[in-house]
Amino acid sequence: MADLLIRGARLVGGGGDPVDVATTEGVVVDVRPASTRPSGGEAADLAADGRWLMPGLWDQHVHPTDWAAVGHRLDLRHAGTVAACLEAVAARLAERPGEEVVATGLWCAGWPTRPVRADLDRFDVPVALLSGDSHSAVMNGAALARYGLAADADDDGWVTEAAWFAVMPTIGTADDATRDRWVVEAGRRAAARGVVGIVDLDPHDTHAAWRRRVAAGFAAHRVRAGVWLDHLDDALAAGLRTGDPVPGAGPLVTMGPFKVIADGSLNTGTAHCRHPFPDGSVGAMNIDDATLTAAMTRAATGGIDAAIHAIGDAALTQVLDAFERSGARGTVEHAQLATPEDVARMAALGLAASVQPRHLVDDRDVAEVLWRGRTDRAYAYADMARAGVELRLGSDAPVAPLDPWLTIAAAVLRTGDERPAWHPEQRIDVTLALRSSWGGVTGVAPGAPADLVLLDDDPLALDAARLPGIGVAATICAGNVTHATL
């Protein structure tokens, strides 16, 4: 960690007078009025030339393996019909004969019909179309056989929830070394958008994966590497507490939270809800109350925070019950549909809401169908903030792009197209959206981590619709420049 002097920057929210910011050993040690003289010492100079400096940005919910793989898979985000999906698969096979097809970004909850195994069985190679919400996939017979999922699929070839999560990180022909290289490359792209840290909630052995990636040269940002239930005991046996360095993974990778996906998702129709979906189902929990509470208690006793996924309002109530019984600390992940009573309970329990504003942009139309009459309490970020719930913003990449500026704009605007804001009463302002993206840091001040981003414009002065295009001049993580255009 080299010493660094950032010269002539203006602090976001700091009044506009230029300052020099000195860092040593990855920590901010001084913020003083700007000097016209070079440092003359051992520190490297970074000339800000009046650009805007603030804490670097975090994405609080990422699945790095699949996020990094998206650019190497068939993209179905713009396919609006089953026929369009099949045409895309056929075109890929024409380009790459005999190659397995893995497609991402399938958003078909609002379609009259969805793709099924019979549609895909016309292809003689394994074909898997992954739902955009990452909670399910539809496969042909060859893919079901390859991944041992024939008994787990429904009659239409769809594999959902636990059976899907078990194989999700292994889908495709790429080996670990290739996937790791993709993650290293994706980390550099994230740094170019001002990212200094992510929370990794992948369903495999994240600690082993980051040891490999760091050995392969990863140094783009910090990582809080979470564990799922099947790796919790290993973390406890190693004596790891949330925030501890992960042994063998370098200074940027620390122990993250204990992750449980307690219920399903909106688009897959498996979120556990108080009121039925149009087909009469109410979704379901993926874990029973006793098992969830016992696991959260073990984690809390060992000093590991919990990150518990709850999308439906019924699931949120049960998850909050488990937090209360276990005494665990941590976050509710997503909290996409919440009663006012449960918003108040989250605040009373001291829990943070790890939320993904871009989801409301992607989900608004399907939510109006599947959660008709209840969308006033969907993605209720303003209600949470008013109640005293800490918001932590993220993407759930690959479900949404890992770009914090898209995330911030979605939280502020609550729209991603020409339509008016969806439930504008739940908008939050830019200041709160930024602070909710700083990873727990409150500003650029002595003693804070030297995790910083230098911007071409003041984000507080920009029209929110322009935030996704803001220029990132430099990103500094632990005092090291990880991206620069200067």
- The domain that holds 20 is classified in CATH as 2.30.40.10
DSSP classification of residue 130 = E
Q: How far apart are CA 308 and CA 334, in angstroms?
A: 9
Any idea what the CATH number is for the domain that residue 330 is in? 3.20.20.140
- Locate the DSSP E strands across 262-341: 306-310, 330-334
Helix (H, G, I), strand (E, B) or coil at 314: helix
Exposed e or buried b per residue across 134-161, where buried means at least 16 C-beta atoms within 10 angstroms of its C-beta: bbbbbbbbbbbebbebeebbeeebbbbb
> Do 160 and 192 have their domain in common?
no
Q: In this predicted structure, what is the pLDDT of residue 44?
A: 81
> Do 448 and 466 have their domain in common?
yes
CA dihedral 339, 340, 345, 346 (to 10 degrees): 80
> Do 463 and 347 have their domain in common?
no
Tell me which residue has tokens 């932590």.
392
Sequence-distant (6+) residues with CB within 8 A of 376 are 423, 425
Q: In this predicted structure, what is the pLDDT of residue 1?
A: 55
Residues 368 and 413 sit within 8 Å (Cβ to Cβ)? no
Q: Would you state the structure tokens that stand for residue 302, as one six-digit string?
A: 């060992």
> Do 416 and 447 have their domain in common?
no
> Do 389 and 474 have their domain in common?
no
Q: How far apart are CA 52 and CA 470, in angstroms?
A: 11
Nearest to 135 by CA among 159, 115, 116: 159
Q: Tens digits of per-residue pLDDT, 242-255? A: 999 999 999 999 99
Q: Is the pTM of this model over 0.85?
A: yes
Determine phi and psi for 136, rounding to 5 degrees.
-165, 170
> Do 362 and 424 have their domain in common?
yes
Q: In this predicted structure, what is the pLDDT of residue 16?
A: 84
Query: Of the candidates 151, 170, 189, which is a domain's last residue?
Result: 170
> Do 143 and 224 have their domain in common?
no
> Do 137 and 242 have their domain in common?
no
Query: Of the candidates 109, 138, 170, which is a domain's last residue?
Result: 170
> Do 131 and 192 have their domain in common?
no
Please give the tally of structural domains in the chain.
3
> Do 282 and 389 have their domain in common?
yes
Which is it for strands 136-139 and 158-160: parallel, antiparallel or unpaired? antiparallel
Any idea what the CATH number is for the domain that residue 126 is in? 3.10.310.70
> Do 88 and 187 have their domain in common?
no
C-alpha distance across the termini of the chain, in Å: 20
Q: How far apart are CA 80 and CA 111, in angstroms?
A: 8
Range of the domain at 127: 72-170
Helix-then-strand count for the chain, H and E: 15, 21
- How is the chain split among helix, strand and coil, in percent rounded to 5? 35, 25, 45
Query: Of the candidates 142, 170, 198, which is a domain's last residue?
Result: 170
> Do 344 and 260 have their domain in common?
yes
Helix (H, G, I), strand (E, B) or coil at 408: helix
Residues 37 and 371 sit within 8 Å (Cβ to Cβ)? no
List, for the chain, all residue ranges whose pLDDT scores fall below the cut of 50.
none
